[in-house]
Copies of this chain bind each other. A is one copy, B any other.
Amino acid sequence: MYVGIDVGGTNIACGIVDASGKILHRESIKTESEKGYSVLVKNIAQLVKHTLKKAGVLESDVLRIGVGCPGCCNKENGIVELCINLNWRNVPLVKDLSELTGITNITIENDANAAAYGEFVAGAAKGSNSAVVITLGTGVGSGIIIDKKLLHGMNFAGGEIGHMVLEVSADEQGDDICGCGRYGCFESFSSATALVKMTTIAMENDPSSEMHRLAGEYGKISARTAWQAQRLGDKAGSEVVEKYIKYLAAGITNVINIFQPDIVCIGGGVCNEGDPLLLPLREAVAKQVYSRDNASNKNTQIAICKLGNEAGIIGAALCQ
């Protein structure tokens, strides 16, 4: 049996996971990052013990604990080198958690990588040999699997597809700077945050758009507003959706031209839109991808992630 932990900014989730990637039992606690690392690591250890007890699993039956954290997780020495969200820098998470739980086989992994690996073992990318999983959320997170292994990069900080610039001249166009310090990043166009911003600007430019009524009805401008307006035939809403898909297709085509993986999976709240997102996205990518005329007629699939928040727990538990 494996234990997977997903350390998020709000909650820490812990699951007992079997070798096939099924979560048998799950518990969670509030993160309370303001209490600092030493309290947090104790809380995580307590959460592990509590979850094992609730699931009726003995500590001696645990083959591995895997912890997914935002930031840079050095798998070689077990140190979380940098985690801005939790204000951790060079914390020996594996060592401390091992002492507190008595379980020695513990690994750490970047949370986006862990989620990608979860989709790879038990979700939308199951059965593939290579996959890129892109999460369209507050930012654009990603994990890359090549030959069934996560790509880490020399510093355990690779796979930052969200910080691939898609518009170099964005610095001259008055666009906002990305959190990473560049302009025109994939994240600046394809995150849910970017979609809300595009929607807001389109509304300012078109006072007659249905988006004003919709945003009022739902209490706020959200990443869903433009799609809702599109369904009503609203021109400004449709234009937002088209622009969003144009950039998303450009980013995904870049990824395919570089990796040519078996599958690209997209996840995050935006993907709840389903076919109105997925079908035009696939069409746009198919038109521009480099290998579209290849002799074997095989191309990278594009699919929506299946596991939601569970991917992070499953992936953390099972990636070595």
Contact = CB atoms under 8 A, between A and B. Distances in A.
B81 A295 contact: yes
Contacts of A294: 72, 81-82, 155, 157
Interface stretch (A23-31, A32-40, A245-253, A307-315): A245-253
Interface in A230-250: 246-247, 250
B154 A262 contact: yes
A260 B165 contact: no
Given A160-B258, A160-B290, A295 B250 contact: no
B261 A82 contact: no
Contact of A167 (B82, B130, B169): B169
Contacts of A246: 168
A242 to B, nearest CB: 13
Interface string A166-190: 1111000000000011100000010
Contacts of A295: 72, 81-82, 89-90
Nearest to A144: B258
Interface centre among A129, A262, A290, A293 (most CB of B within 10 A): A290
A258 B157 contact: no
Contacts of A166: 165-168
Contact of A291 (B155, B260, B293, B300): B155
Contacts of A69: none
Contacts of A288: 180-182
A320 interface: no
Contacts of A161: 257-258
A296 B89 CA distance: 11
A126 to B, nearest CB: 16
A159 interface: yes
Contacts of A157: 260, 290-291, 294
A164 interface: yes
B180 A154 contact: no
A280 B258 CA distance: 25
Interface in A74-100: 74, 81-82, 89-90
B296 A155 contact: yes
Given A154-B300, A155-B294, 13 more contacts: A72-B291, A72-B294, A82-B294, A82-B295, A129-B154, A146-B146, A146-B151, A151-B259, A157-B291, A158-B260, A159-B260, A168-B246, A169-B169
Interface of A: 72, 74, 81-82, 89-90, 129-130, 144, 146-147, 149, 151-155, 157-161, 163-169, 180-182, 189, 246-247, 250, 253-254, 257-262, 287-288, 290-291, 293-296, 298-300
